[in-house]
Amino acid sequence: MKASDTKQKKIVINPVTRIEGHAKVTIRMDDKGKIDAARMHIVEFRGFERFVRGRLYWEAPTIVQRLCGICPVSHHLCAAKAMDGIIGVDKLTPTAEKMRRLMHYGQTFQSHALHFFHLSSPDLLLGYDADPAIRNVIGIALKYPDLAKQAILMRKYGQEIIKATSGKKIHGTGAVPGGINKSLSNEEIALLKNDIDQMLEWSVQSVDLYKKMYMDDIDRLSNLGSFESNFVSLVRKDGCLDLYDGLLRAKDKDGKIIFDKVRPIDYLKYIREGVRNWSYMKFPFITSLGQEKGWYRVGPLARVNNCDFIDTPIAEKQRQEFMELGKGRPVHSTMAYHWARLIETVHSAEKIKELLDDPDIKGKDLVTAGKRRHESVAIIEAPRGSLFHHYKVDDNDQITMANLIVSTTSNNEPMNQAIRRVAEDHIAGQKKVTEPVLNLVEVAIRAYDPCLSCATHAIGQMPLKVKLVDFRGQVIDEKVRG
Amino acid sequence: MSNGKITIYVDDVEVETEPGKTIMEACDASGIYIPRLCYHKDLIPGGHCRVCTIKVNGKPTNACTFPAQEGLVVENDTDELKEFRRNIIEMLFVEGNHVCPYCEKQGNCELQALAYRLGMIAPTYPYLFPKIEVDASHPDVYIDRNRCVICGRCVRASRDIDGKSVFGFVGRGNDKHIAVNAEHNLSETQLTAADRAADICPTGSIVVKRTAYKVPYGKRMYDQEPIGSDIEKSAKV
């Protein structure tokens, strides 16, 4: 792009609201109103990969989880899995494996509830063009009080699962290298069992609600911020959806396998990370396809597209219905992410119910050990997508290298694509840009990720400031919100 | 004095003890908790940290070394002294790099527990953020001087209990720190994980490796009751 020799307009959304973290969007148009560039900038720097260096390997699961307050469990468990590898443990005791899985399903359940109800549903239930003053979770509580209460209780339930398995609702210490530090008591199990049927019922109602919403407005929603892409996720050895562990699978836009059954330790042979000079966030891509064509999507849509089946009955039935949207190909719609997300919410509730009936979660054999190694890679399916943790540890037990590819990073290019698509459909050629139209940009981002703190963090208010400027930087139109 | 006993008055409470006992020992036996950090019942008192500062007949001194004498009037649980102790704890926090949220000693750390007991919400002094490397060279024990409060427990335990003198103080003032009796690092010393010096650190500075986070939340030493509760309860029984 040559800003100096074309007459361009630039729209800046800074910061993007109703996400956790700090991001800025810029949309550049040429003098004919055509979209020249649409970008999401991650404008702050974190640095966990650097400051875990020199720390003892068993500290990693407790340190790196502080990347995030929404899905710390994913980082906690992924680092713990990596450290299992460092101490030579390839198989946990049944109690440790099931306690960690329970923690993870609790995490997915609460995070998906938060993502959909608290952060995204105001756009869907109140309208993307509703008054911004009420287009939020308070507006939902006023108009749909029962639904709002349900959303809060669903999140609370997931948090209670996390507390029971890791000791705290946020930033617990349950997973340790080689296992877990506690199992569940009869009292804890009884307490959690009290509400699981209600949670499952609400989860099914949620997916049905969104399904109807989507199908009733399919022309608009299926196109909003949509594009075709590759997909990457873990799947179990037999192709089943697995959020906690498995092997990497990549499919192309037509659903053909790009790679499959890739062990986490081999990820660097298949995935690389590119950088661009306008964002602190990297741009991962499938090595064999190159940076231009190899970018991919992760998260609920990728997982549901990639797996062959789901091993819980209600979620599997929902998956089959969902896949009909693609007519034999993967589903590519950005707004279908929410649908897939709610299918996973159902799956998580079903898995929690199953695990609460499993006597192994009361077991006492918590930790195991093996022969020490110096390098380990673990992958877990965090709520927003595949999360990679790669560590090297020296003979003194100190971490010498850490590489974390978070789901937000993998979805970086896709979010840019979604912004571009919204800009092309709704902003190109417009002389004035309305607030609802700008909100559509954010709606598309939120479908992927309302939580950018893996790559950034912000303190304080998040006002929205938008400027429409010409190529000389002269402000033509300006809107401030928040 | 009668029957070989003496009486001191701690915050207007009569405390009977024996000659030769310190004020700290007298109070412990009577269920009166005086906050302390460098003091440990198995070690010769060092008087380093001053967290146990009391006032004896109106004059500040440290309870761990001051001998009980007939008729002493001791101030302990006063707002003035609590603030004084809290300030000491705050200074210890800002002098090092005490990141409680991930420290493996969390919940079992006496420094953290004192901060809670003394009502420290956050340090009010500026952090110094010293740059300090971890010595993890020993196969079973590591030293993280980021968390060292120069209490000298390790020095006394290694010298007086283990008979090895692995640790010692070097430097003065702000430069004072714990050194090891070796050319380069801890791996060259005679320290073993079974030594008393390896598990007597009140913070997460000297830690036996591979024991982190094994005790879940709720069951750690100070999860249920504040530090000092054991002393206060023992005398009430």
Indicate which CATH number applies to the domain containing B37. 3.10.20.740
Verify that B73 and B89 share a domain, yes or no. no
Verify that B125 and B34 share a domain, yes or no. no
A44 pLDDT tier (thresholds 50, 70, 90): low
Residue B225 within a domain = no
How much is the pLDDT for B104? 96
How much is the pLDDT for B116? 97
pLDDT mean over A330-338: 97
Instruction: Indicate which CATH number applies to the domain containing B92.
Output: 3.30.70.20
Verify that B173 and B200 share a domain, yes or no. yes
- Interfacial residues of A (vs B; Cβ cutoff 8 Å): 54-56, 58-59, 62-63, 66, 166-168, 171-174, 176, 181-182, 367, 396-398
The residue extents of the domains of chain A are: 3-45+429-481, 48-410
Structural tokens at position A438: 């700008």
What is the CATH T-level fold of the domain A48-410, as seen in this structure?
A: Cytochrome-c3 Hydrogenase; chain B (1.10.645)
Verify that B175 and B204 share a domain, yes or no. yes
pLDDT at B221 over 80: yes
Structural tokens at position B170: 């070097």
Residue B67 within a domain = yes
pLDDT at A283 over 90: no
Residue B102 within a domain = yes
Residue B94 within a domain = yes
Verify that B122 and B140 share a domain, yes or no. yes
Contact A174 B216 (CB under 8 A): yes
Contact B102 A59 (CB under 8 A): yes
Contacts of B91 (CB under 8 A, 6+ apart): B123, B125
- Which residues in chain B are contacts of A67 at CB distance < 8 A? none
Residue B226 within a domain = no
Residue A171's region, left for phi above 0, alpha for psi from -120 to 50, else beta, is: left
Specify whether the CB–CB gap between A52 and A61 falls below 8 A: no
Contact A181 B102 (CB under 8 A): no
How much is the pLDDT for A458? 29
How much is the pLDDT for A20? 53
**Range scoring the smallest mean pLDDT among A236-240, A461-465, B166-170, B183-187:** A461-465
Residue B23 within a domain = yes
How many domains would you assign to chain B? 2
Verify that B24 and B113 share a domain, yes or no. no
Cα A88–Cα A91–Cα A92 angle in degrees, nearest 5: 100
pLDDT top residue among A119 and A310:
A310
pLDDT at A5 over 60: no
pLDDT at B213 over 60: yes
| Domain coverage including residue B25 | 6-77
Verify that B102 and B68 share a domain, yes or no. no
pLDDT mean over B167-191: 95
Residue B176 within a domain = yes
Specify whether the CB–CB gap between B15 and B9 falls below 8 A: yes
pLDDT at A475 over 60: no
Scanning B44-83 for CB atoms below 8 A from A yields: none
Residue B54's region, left for phi above 0, alpha for psi from -120 to 50, else beta, is: beta
- Cβ density class B58-80: b for 16+ within 10 Å, e for less: eeebbbbebebeeebebbbeeee
Verify that B91 and B201 share a domain, yes or no. yes
How much is the pLDDT for B209? 98
Verify that B104 and B35 share a domain, yes or no. no
- Which residues in chain A are contacts of B212 at CB distance < 8 A? 56, 58-59, 176
A469 pLDDT tier (thresholds 50, 70, 90): low
pLDDT at A22 over 70: no
* Phi, psi for residue B181 in degrees, rounded to 5: -80, 70
Mean pLDDT score across all residues of chain A: 88
Instruction: Choose one of B52, B77, B102: the last residue of a domain.
Output: B77
Specify whether the CB–CB gap between B85 and B24 falls below 8 A: no
Other Cβ atoms within 10 Å of B174 Cβ, number:
9
Q: Is B157 helix (H, G, I), strand (E, B) or coil?
A: helix
How much is the pLDDT for A388? 94
State ipTM. Answer: 0.94
Report the percent of chain A where pLDDT is more than 70: 88
Verify that B88 and B203 share a domain, yes or no. yes
Verify that B72 and B92 share a domain, yes or no. no
pLDDT mean over A448-459: 47
Instruction: Choose one of B77, B110, B138: the last residue of a domain.
Output: B77
Residue B60 within a domain = yes
Verify that B26 and B120 share a domain, yes or no. no
How far is residue B24's CA from residue B32's CA, in Å, rounded to a whole number? 9
